[in-house]
Structure 1
Amino acid sequence: MSFADASLTALRVFREVAQRGTLTAAAVALGYTQSAVSRQIASLERAAGTRLLERRHDGVLLTPAGQLVLRRAATVLDQVDATARELAGLPDEHGTVRLGWFASAGAWLVPRALAELHRTHPAITVTTREGSTPALVRALRAETIDLALLAAAPPFRPPDSETPALHLQTLVERSLCVAVPEAHPLARGEFIDVADLHGQRWIAGPTSGEDRLMGVWPGLDERPEIAHTARDWLAKLRLIAAGCGITTVPAGLTGALPSGVRILPVRGGPREQRRLLLARLPKPPAEPVARLAAALRAVAIESDRRSMTG
């Protein structure tokens, strides 16, 4: 059996496993059993004559051969899908861009950038998905998204170790802030002293799976009191407005605040810088992708300017 005999089904399953990071997650996404996914991967590895995946306790890692197959599979599957659309008489989707974004970007940056792109280039269609950084990076590698908005913290390492390295563009870099209820004692000034963050009740993100404890000021020399855990930003901000706790936020979220919430910088202690990154594969982007990237950058810079002068 040669690789020319590999089935399209096996290639689709392989791309899904590469994107999801585990055979179990790929099986759920595809509606297959895990054993069916394993059989498809095994058939593809037999056709390739080498291992494509390294099975580990926390998921799978692509071998060099697997990375090569993933790049070629993405091209083949895209061409097959485009042919199927043409045969079905559907319009060509060359003007469609697939964007992935981390949670807080969806609360301010993504909607504004899409509105601006629709105003200037209404023929471009954008589809989006929310995800964690590891999930979005896998989706970029699998070429199931074209661009990804990522959040980065010091020491600002690359989001993965695969080659070729992703093309990363820093849209803005600002200090981490804290969101507090307007009636909270911390909201009386124009900044918060880091020492005053001790003993506060925090609203944090989930700690399971790929997510770290998000929402608590880094480096506090105490065990924080987590009053509420929420992934959704609207829920977090509403909890803050109700006086239920405080949380860390990117400065760009200022324009998306509900009434009853203030965002303030923190003074004292090490500076907690955060970067907003736009990531893509290291190849010349198609025109619609470049247009969306430009809209995201323009909105990010303008929002950053307003948060600094407002």
Structure 2
Amino acid sequence: MIDVQRLRVLRTVAEHGSFNQAAAALRLTPSAVSQHVAALERSLGARVVERSTRGVTLTQAGRIMVGAAESVAAELTHAKRQVDRLGTGRTQFTLATFTSGGRLLLPGALTRMTAAHPGTVVHVREAEPEDSLPLVRQGAVDLALAYHFDGPLPGRPGQSSDVEWTALMEDPLHVVLPETHPLADRRAIDIAELADEPWVLGCLKSEAYLSRYAERAGFTPEVRGTTTDYFFARSLVAAGMGVSLIPSIALTPELPGLRAVPINPPAPTRHIGVAVLRRRGHPLAATLIQALQEQAAAAVGRDSGRRPEGAMGRRVV
């Protein structure tokens, strides 16, 4: 019999990549974490992690067991919510969202969902995709409003692939400049034209993204400021610290003295969508997804610079 607690420990080790960090997250000692993993390996008759001076990595068997751990966690969460609903008679719905997408899309979508299902108690958690998508896989949230740049959705080794992604809209990034900048009145800019500019970033992940596009254009960006808030980043641009790369939906409210200029193709873009668990999905998830699609379509209609993603379809990731 496989111990559920040992699966939980393995999942946490996979998430953090080390026994020490997993121990801190679980409020256990590193020795206790190691003992749980060793006991799991004995019960399976197979190694689930490879230990090295750089930390631990999952074996193929370990990846299989972490996937099972995600499924078990989701099933237990689902059962707990059913029991809670028996006691309270009220439906609970929990979602995670990144800030700018939630600000644009969630108020109207939640108003529609709760109007159609007035007994629903909604809980909202702010989280970036690298945190919210694991929460979906674990069943800790019913839905995540998330995004990804070029490439696949963010994930961690060993995570299961039973998350369904529904595309909502594209969110092109613009260059934000002081209105006195020589390029401020341009209809579009080649990113290579900004090779000599200092940069201010409004998202910790955007530095690697900017660097990738800059490398294609043949330069290395000089980053003078890094924040976790796009409004703050635009304020620093207004103060003369440099230029910034800002998603379209984060360009409001407007700040005086600034211009936002599109980038010529291939333009850096965020792809915004919704992630839900394919199995054991919440019965109200489809209602909220439809409301989010309507909000996204309305937002695209207000700004021709943003358009829906090609197929507006669903895929398993």
Q: Same fold (TM over 0.5)?
A: yes
Corresponding residue for residue 181 of structure 2: 184
Would you say how many aligned residue pairs link Structure 1 and Structure 2?
297
Aligned to 2:219: 222
Please give the alpha-carbon distance, in whole angstroms, between the structure 2 residues aligned to 1:175 and 1:248. Answer: 10
Contact 2:166–2:273, Cα closer than 8 Å, also in 1: yes
Question: Is there any run of 5+ residues in structure 2 with no aligned partner, and where?
Answer: 307-317
Paired with 1:30 and 1:163, the residues of 2 have a C-alpha distance of 21
* Inter-partner Cα distance in structure 2 for 1:262 and 1:58: 46
Q: CA deviation at 1:168?
A: 1.8
Q: Distance in 1 between matches of 2:185 and 2:93?
A: 47
The equivalent position to 2:273 in structure 1, one of 270, 277, 295, is: 277
For residues 277-306 of structure 1, give each alpha carbon's deviation from its aligned partner in whole angstroms, at most 9, with x where no partner exists: 322333363222223322332222222221
What is the identity, as a one-letter code, of the residue corresponding to 1:126? H
- Pick closer, same or farther for the CA change 1:301–1:26 going to 2, 3 Å: farther
Secondary structure of the residue aligned to 2:208 is coil
Number of the residue aligned with 2:63: 63
1:168-211 CA-to-partner distances (Å, cap 9, x unmatched) read 2221125332222344333234433444322111113676xx88
Deviation at 1:270, TM superposition (A): 3.2
Secondary structure at the aligned position of 2:125 is classed as: strand
Q: Is the 8 A contact 2:8 2:69 kept in 1?
A: no
Taking structure 1 as the reference length, what is the TM-score of the superposition?
Answer: 0.76
Structure 1 stretch 239-248 or stretch 24-33: which is displaced more? 24-33
- 1:140 is the counterpart of 2:136: yes
Change in 2 beyond 3 A, CA 1:223/1:33: same
**Where do residues 204-283 of structure 1 align in structure 2 (5 Å cutoff)?**
204=201, 213-215=208-210, 218=214, 219-267=216-264, 270-283=266-279
Is residue 104 of structure 2 the alignment partner of residue 108 of structure 1? yes
8 Å CA contact 1:171–1:297 kept in 2: the answer is: yes
The equivalent position to 1:304 in structure 2, one of 296, 300, 304, is 300
1:223 is paired with a residue of what secondary structure? coil
- Structure 1's unaligned 5+ residue stretches are none
Change (3 A) 1:300 1:257: farther
Q: TM-score, normalised by structure 2?
A: 0.74
In the alignment, the residues of structure 1 paired with residue 64 and residue 145 of structure 2 have an alpha-carbon distance, to the nearest angstrom, of 26
What's the offset of the Cα at 1:225?
1.2
Q: Does residue 130 of the first structure (1) align with residue 127 of the second (2)?
A: yes
| Aligned mate of 1:38, from 24, 34, 41 | 34
> Offset of 1:104 from its aligned partner?
4.2
Q: Which moved more, 1:140-149 or 1:297-306?
A: 140-149
SS in 2 for 1:187: coil
Seen in structure 2, the aligned counterparts of structure 1 residues 221 and 309 have a Cα distance that, compared at 3 Å, is closer
What CA distance in whole angstroms lies between the structure 2 residues aligned with 1:157 and 1:147? 18
Matched residue type, 2:63: T
Question: Any conservation in 2 of the 1:164–1:282 contact (CA below 8 Å)?
Answer: no
The residue aligned with 1:175 is 172
Cα deviation, 1:112-135, whole Å, max 9, x if unaligned, reads: 5445545554524133131353x4
Describe the SS at the equivalent of 1:239: helix
Q: Percent identity, please.
A: 27
Contact 2:70 2:160 in 1 (8 A): no
CA RMSD in angstroms comes to 3.6
Counterpart residue number, 2:74 = 74
User: In structure 1, how many angstroms separate the alpha carbons of the residues matched to 2:77 and 2:162?
Assistant: 23
> Which one-letter code corresponds to 1:213 in the other structure?
A
* Separation of aligned partners in 1, 2:78 and 2:12: 14
- Give the distance between the partners of 2:203 and 2:247, measured in 1 at CA: 17
